Structure 1
Amino acid sequence: MAEKPEPVKVLYCGVCGLPAEYCEFGPDFEKCKPWLIQNAPNLYPQLVNDLKEVDGVSDQLRVSGITEATGPSGSSAPKQEPAKRLPGGKTKKKDKQEVIIEKVTRNKRKSITTLKGLDLFGVKLSDASKKLGKKFATGASVVKGPTEKDQIDVQGDIAYDIVEFITDTWPDVPETAIYFIEDGKKVPAV
C-alpha cells in the first residue's frame, strides 16, 4: 500500500499574512523585510546580504560622525512621504476636483441626470440632492455609482440649468471645474 504524503507546512508572514515566499508581491514588502530576515533568512538570502552591507556602511558613517537622519552639518533632512501603494505595486492617483454631469436615457424618452464629484468640494450630498429636487421640482437621491462612489441622480433632463444653479448655490465650486459627458467625451461646461 502507498504511503500517504505529509501535508506541506507553509510559513505565513507575521506582518502581511501572505505565505513568506509571496511577501515581495504583497502590499508593503518594506515592512515585511525585518520579519523575513529574522524568521525566513533562507527564502530571501539577498536581504540578509544587503543587511550586512548596510550594517557595514552605517558603522562606517557612525565612526565618521555622520548619521542617517542628519547630514555632515548636523541638520536633519526633510522626510518625503511615500506614495500610497495598492496591491500589485500600482500607486493611487489623487482624485481631481471636478464635477461631472451626465445625462442617461432610459425607457425611450425618460432620462436621469447624474452629478459626480460634488462632494470633493465639501458639499454634503444629501443636502445637495434636497436642494436640486426642490429647485427643479423632481426626484433626486444619493446613490452609489458604478465606481462605488456616491453620486446624485436627478430625474429628468436638467442639464440646461444645472451649471448656473451649482455655481450660485455653492460658490466653492468654480465654473471651470464643471464638465459634461457628451457622446462619451468630457466637455467643459463653460
Structure 2
Amino acid sequence: MAEKPQPVRVLYCPVCSLPAEYCEFGPDFEKCKPWLIEKAPDLYPNLVKEANDKEADKVSEQLQSVGISSTGVDGSAPAAPSGTSTAKQEEVKRLPGGKIKKKDKQEVVIEKVVRNKRKCVTMVKGLDLFGVKLSDASKKLGKKFATGASVVKGPTEKEQIDVQGDISYDIVEFITDTWPDVPETAIYFIEDGRKVPAA
C-alpha cells in the first residue's frame, strides 16, 4: 500500500507575510533580510555570503582602528594603519567609472546661450557654493535687469539660474556688489567653449 503524502509546510515571513521564497518580490525585502538570513539561509545563500562578508569587513576595520592588521594575527608584521586609511580615502573618492570625484571649486560660471537664432539666455552657475540662496538671487537678477529669471536644474543635475536676455555686460558688477562674499576673481565666462576669467 502506498504511503500517504505529507502536506507541504510553507515558511511564511513575519515581516511581509509572503512565503519566504517570495520575499525578494515583496515591498520590504530590505527589512526581511535579517529574518531570512537567520531562518531561511538555504533559500538565499547570496544574502548569507553578503552578511558574512560584512561581518568580516567590520572585524578587519576594528582591528585596523586598534592598529592590528587582519593578516598580522598569524605572526607576520602588521601593516601600517596610515597606509590603509589612505587606501580607504581613495576608495571613497572613486566614482563608478573609475574616475576620482573632485571637490566643487568655489567659482561662478556665466554662460550665454543663443536660442532660435535670436533669443538669448544667460546661465549663472555656482552662486550656491558661496552660500547664496538661488531663489532669492533669481528674484534680484530679474528685478535688476527687468527680465524673467528662474532656478532650473542644469545638465549636470545641479541647480543654476537662467536669466532671459543677454545680461553678461553688467552681471559681474551686480554679483560682486550684491553678494560681497563672491570675489571677482572667482567669476568666469564661457566663451567659445573655454572658461575665461571675468577679472
CA 1:87 to 1:12, structure 2 compared with 1: closer, same or farther past 3 Å?
farther
Per the alignment, residue 102 of structure 2 pairs with 93
How many angstroms does 1:121 deviate by? 0.7
Per the alignment, residue 57 of structure 1 pairs with 72
Per the alignment, residue 115 of structure 1 pairs with 124
What is the root-mean-square deviation in Å for CA atoms of aligned residues? 3.6
Per the alignment, residue 170 of structure 1 pairs with 179
Per the alignment, residue 44 of structure 1 pairs with none
Residues in 2 aligned to 1:69 and 1:183: alpha-carbon distance in whole angstroms:
50
Q: Give CA-to-partner distance per residue, 1:21-77, whole Å, 9 cap, x none.
A: xxxxxxxxxx98834979xxxxxxxxxxxxxxx65623548xxxx98899xxxxx99
Residues in 2 aligned to 1:133 and 1:107: alpha-carbon distance in whole angstroms:
22
| 1:96 partner letter | K
What SS does structure 2 have at the residue aligned with 1:131? helix
Per the alignment, residue 53 of structure 2 pairs with 34
Residues in 2 aligned to 1:12 and 1:163: alpha-carbon distance in whole angstroms:
61
Gaps of 5+ in 1: 1-9, 21-30, 39-53, 71-75
Structure number with higher helix proportion: 2
Gaps of 5+ in 2: 1-42, 58-68
| 1:185 partner letter | R
Identity of aligned residues (%): 70
Q: What is the number of equivalent residue pairs in this alignment?
A: 144
Per the alignment, residue 157 of structure 2 pairs with 148
Q: Give CA-to-partner distance per residue, 1:64-115, whole Å, 9 cap, x none.
A: xx98899xxxxx99x6571423224332111111100011111222211000
Task: Compute the TM-score of the two structures, normalised by the length of structure 2.
Answer: 0.60
Residues 123 and 163 of structure 2 are in contact (CA less than 8 Å); yes or no, is this contact kept in structure 1?
yes
Task: Compute the TM-score of the two structures, normalised by the length of structure 1.
Answer: 0.62
How many angstroms does 1:142 deviate by? 0.4
Residues 138 and 150 of structure 2 are in contact (CA less than 8 Å); yes or no, is this contact kept in structure 1?
yes
Residues in 2 aligned to 1:108 and 1:173: alpha-carbon distance in whole angstroms:
32
Per the alignment, residue 43 of structure 1 pairs with none
Residues in 2 aligned to 1:108 and 1:56: alpha-carbon distance in whole angstroms:
66
CA 1:148 to 1:56, structure 2 compared with 1: closer, same or farther past 3 Å?
closer
